[in-house]
Structure 1
Amino acid sequence: MEDIEAFGARGERARLFPVLADSSKEGRTLSIVLATLAQVPEFSGSILSAIGRRSGTRTKVEAFTEVTFPKRKGDNLRPDGLIVVSTGRSKWSAFVEAKVGSAPLKQDQIEAYLRLAKDVGVDAVLTFSNEFAPLPEHHPVQVDRRLTRSVDLLHFSWFSILTTINLLAINDEIADEDHVFLLRELERFLLHPSAGLKRFDNMGAEWTALLDHLRTGGTISKNSPEALAVVSNWHSELRDLCLLLSRKTGATAELKLSPKHRSDPRERIQQDIKHLADKCHLTGTILVPDAAAPIDVEADLNTRTIRVSMKVDAPQDKAQQRSRLNWLTRQLKDVDGADVHIKTNWPGRVAQTSSTLAEARDDDTVHVHPDRSVVPTSFVVMKMVAEGRRFAGRKTFVEALEDLVVNDFYGSVAQCLTAWRAPAPKLRAAVDEGESDFVDAEG
């Protein structure tokens, strides 16, 4: 217990089987997660890696709950947990604050823990809740920036924790059978309603208000609270989509973010609000390991249409227009082509051509240019949903988007596509083994 006493604190070690009141859902869920974190190195290593902390064979993780500071009079601050990570000669520590169900994280509480962390020498404040963030360092609650100059503020959604556990287990990354058993049991527990875990499933009242405003001829102000709420919820849904794809594919899907947006989430929100105000579009890009291309997702609030697409480069080893198109259609030979759209991009200012996959199969001249020397440079493969009623619903929009991205587009199209790769160079039969391609400089 000396690690926790070094901060002037007291607490109980996190237990796999906590003895707590039935009403203490947060305490029970957190205790079980932290106890597993301390016992399964692969689990703690994955979490630490996500926040930029190294771990290895010498890493020791200790976790405590019911943390108090008896020597500090008057503030009565009681963080839900404390994690202490020892790696050789260095140590890293974090207060933990957890919320389950619909309970939101509170700004004043988080700021109080940030001040406490600075006072007692704790390095970070780590929160768990059902709120989503694109990256652990992009916290869903805005706090006074001065408080995070010396103390890191980090966040994991419960669903991201569940996804991490699932990927570790299904990818056989853990050799110890007891550790695999612990993770499987933790996953089973978190999936039970009593654990208080929830996925993102609602775009909020602002979604309906914004769509109604557009329908009556209004415009979107980039300074409106509705635009801020809609973009924030869109970011949450994109993160949830990544986690859902990760669980479905067994690979870690991630959002594609520019370095600037990765380091400054506020800048990302402001830029997406401006794009929403100017174009009435919400956009995002998802990276799936080894997929043929990134997956682009777009919600058009004017036409109430969701579009999902991939842009794949045309094969460079095929010199004819039809050969390049056939390379694509052959990969999608078992796909229902009626609702799959293909767009062909040409070099220079040549106009884009488009058709359904079914039309391209029936008549390959649809994607032919009169100048035979011009060949396609890339193809966009797309599916869309244009159901106004589902689009307008706070929950049905999320359901329609997830069904289109995960089951319909990825399941029937994206997983069938393979990016073109240049073939290996062939041996040149005309070159005799006894002859050199080089001329002696002195000869």
Structure 2
Amino acid sequence: MAEESWHAARLIPTSGISGAEEQERRATSALLAVLSSVKEFGRALLGTVAAPAGNVETYIEVPFKLGGKDLRPDGLIRVRRGSREWTALVEVKTGKNALATEQLENYLDICRDQGFDALITISNEIPPSPDVHPTQVDRRKLRKVALHHWSWADVLASAVLQKEHRGVSDPDQAWVLGELIRYLEHPKSGALEFDDMGADWVPLREAVTSGTLRAGDPTITDVVARFDALIRYASLQLGRRLGADVVVQMSRKERSDPTLRAQILRTGLVDHGVLRGALRIPGTVGDISVTANLRTNTVTCHVDVDAPKTGRATTRVNWLVRQLKTAPDGLRLEAFVVNQRGAGASDLLAVVREDPAVLVLDATRELKAFRLEMSVPMGTKRGRGRGSFIDSVMNAVDTFYEDVVQHLKAWSAAPPKMRPEVATPPGEPAELTSTALSSQDD
């Protein structure tokens, strides 16, 4: 038999997974075991739920009684540091299985009765931000117990960041973490990619196209939630590639009130036929704004860049163009002046390269900022693959960052130069010559 057909032995095998129950049990056991054995990964992931640094213990299917009922949460995490102890129950779902409100409320009651600190849920549901939980529960049950959520995309992104970018000091632990990554990336693990805009996507898109979408349309709620999940998923995927913590950018009010964020998206859809999101990437000149226009069938990414504070207007334009050597000719540039109202001068990069003055309508007005914008055709299919909406958004974000944003640097003023000391003229006594700046003429 040829060796090419042999299967390598794996620490966490995917063979033998016969159903959802076995899938959840194996995923839970694999994650919790690695969480307790790979210290750097455990600290990074548990740090997101306010767990203290310390010795991590993990258990699966711990039995409890609640009101005469036998309950068995999928897992338990305990962190000990000196006399301090932090404990959380864990509930896991894989595949397309969703978290259930009644089950979570029962586990919150167990946490309260046992004096545990938190309940952590893990599923393929992706909320718009880490502060938002995908399942509604009775808020009164959260007075003494914290409720946290990790999507499997969160877990996988954190594992990749730790192994490939932040590092694991022990080679054996690094290999163990790599085995978890390999397992979660396998389709049989149940840790799915974001792959569906839902059954309401096509009817909503058709309603926008025909101009019949209204604020009360029942298709809006699910679509805006899935779009938020898509933007969050895009941030995680980009973060994995960059080795950076890419986050979804929202206002403080939107983060504190998820219903406000949903209402803003709803209004944008009804009034303008658009869905908007933004990504913040550490070290870049600005946030990447993403706009899906369902009326024009385009996905647009843009970033705003502050112009230099010195130099003529064309000099400032040239400063920007020099940084766009590898950017596509079809990139649209727009220039804004101080106290401007409305749109600024704009043209394609190919034109601006030949004549920077096309972005200067009035040379006497100070150029304040630029907007760089790239548009691509929007996919229409609800799933993944060629012609899908999800892939068109993901590809637009990746391409815009790779071709444009990663090459941009913010302007900084040149440091002041030290003036040379004035030499004493020949024949003049040194004591009569002052080298102080205040006594020198320009």
TM-score scaled by structure 1? 0.87
Q: 2:230 aligns with which of 226, 231, 237?
A: 237
The alpha-carbon deviation at position 38 of structure 1 amounts to 0.8
The alpha-carbon deviation at position 362 of structure 1 amounts to 2.1
Letter in 2 for 1:244: Q
* Whole-angstrom CA distance in 1 between matches of 2:316 and 2:276: 29
* Whole-angstrom CA distance in 2 between matches of 1:18 and 1:349: 59
1:429 equivalent to 2:427? Answer no
The residue aligned with 1:74 is 68
Q: 2:371 aligns with which of 357, 377, 380?
A: 380
Letter in 1 for 2:34: T
Does the Cα contact within 8 Å between 2:12 and 2:183 map onto a contact in 1? no
Letter in 2 for 1:252: D
Letter in 2 for 1:193: P
Q: What whole-Å deviation, never above 9, does each CA across 1:204-251 have from its counterpart, x for those lacking one? A: 121211121222221331x44322111110110011000110112121
The alpha-carbon deviation at position 74 of structure 1 amounts to 2.9
The alpha-carbon deviation at position 273 of structure 1 amounts to 2.4
The residue aligned with 2:40 is 42
The residue aligned with 2:151 is 157
The alpha-carbon deviation at position 434 of structure 1 amounts to 7.5
* Whole-angstrom CA distance in 1 between matches of 2:81 and 2:49: 15
1:334 equivalent to 2:323? Answer no
- Which consecutive residues of structure 2, in runs of 5 or more, have no partner in the other structure? 1-10, 424-432
Q: 2:244 aligns with which of 248, 251, 268?
A: 251
Does the Cα contact within 8 Å between 1:101 and 1:197 map onto a contact in 2? yes
List aligned pairs for 1:44-123, cutoff 5 A: 44-55=42-53, 59-69=54-64, 74-123=68-117
Q: What whole-Å deviation, never above 9, does each CA across 1:377-422 have from its counterpart, x for those lacking one? A: 11111111234xx23645400010101111x211111112111122
| Most deviating of 156-165 and 211-220 | 211-220
Q: 2:140 aligns with which of 137, 140, 146?
A: 146
* Whole-angstrom CA distance in 1 between matches of 2:221 and 2:434: 72
> Bigger radius of gyration, 1 or 2?
2
* Whole-angstrom CA distance in 2 between matches of 1:255 and 1:354: 28
CA 1:174/1:436 → structure 2, altered by over 3 Å: closer, same or farther? farther
CA 1:436/1:143 → structure 2, altered by over 3 Å: closer, same or farther? same
The alpha-carbon deviation at position 20 of structure 1 amounts to 9.1
* Whole-angstrom CA distance in 1 between matches of 2:434 and 2:50: 55
Letter in 1 for 2:70: N
* Whole-angstrom CA distance in 2 between matches of 1:376 and 1:150: 53
* Whole-angstrom CA distance in 1 between matches of 2:12 and 2:143: 34
* Whole-angstrom CA distance in 2 between matches of 1:386 and 1:178: 46
Does the Cα contact within 8 Å between 1:65 and 1:81 map onto a contact in 2? yes
The residue aligned with 1:391 is 380
Does the Cα contact within 8 Å between 1:16 and 1:31 map onto a contact in 2? no
CA 1:120/1:54 → structure 2, altered by over 3 Å: closer, same or farther? closer
Q: 2:267 aligns with which of 254, 257, 274?
A: 274
* Whole-angstrom CA distance in 2 between matches of 1:428 and 1:220: 68
TM-score scaled by structure 2? 0.87
* Whole-angstrom CA distance in 2 between matches of 1:162 and 1:263: 26
- Which consecutive residues of structure 1, in runs of 5 or more, have no partner in the other structure? 1-14
The residue aligned with 1:12 is none
The alpha-carbon deviation at position 289 of structure 1 amounts to 1.2
The residue aligned with 1:367 is 359
Does the Cα contact within 8 Å between 1:305 and 1:384 map onto a contact in 2? yes
CA 1:19/1:331 → structure 2, altered by over 3 Å: closer, same or farther? closer
Letter in 2 for 1:418: K
Q: 1:283 aligns with which of 276, 282, 286?
A: 276
The residue aligned with 2:6 is none
1:265 equivalent to 2:254? Answer no
The alpha-carbon deviation at position 151 of structure 1 amounts to 1.5
Does the Cα contact within 8 Å between 2:112 and 2:145 map onto a contact in 1? yes
* Whole-angstrom CA distance in 2 between matches of 1:402 and 1:326: 30
The alpha-carbon deviation at position 174 of structure 1 amounts to 2.0
* Whole-angstrom CA distance in 2 between matches of 1:434 and 1:214: 77
The alpha-carbon deviation at position 301 of structure 1 amounts to 2.3
The residue aligned with 2:313 is 321
* Whole-angstrom CA distance in 1 between matches of 2:405 and 2:275: 21
* Whole-angstrom CA distance in 2 between matches of 1:288 and 1:282: 20
1:217 equivalent to 2:211? Answer yes
Give aligned pairs, total: 414
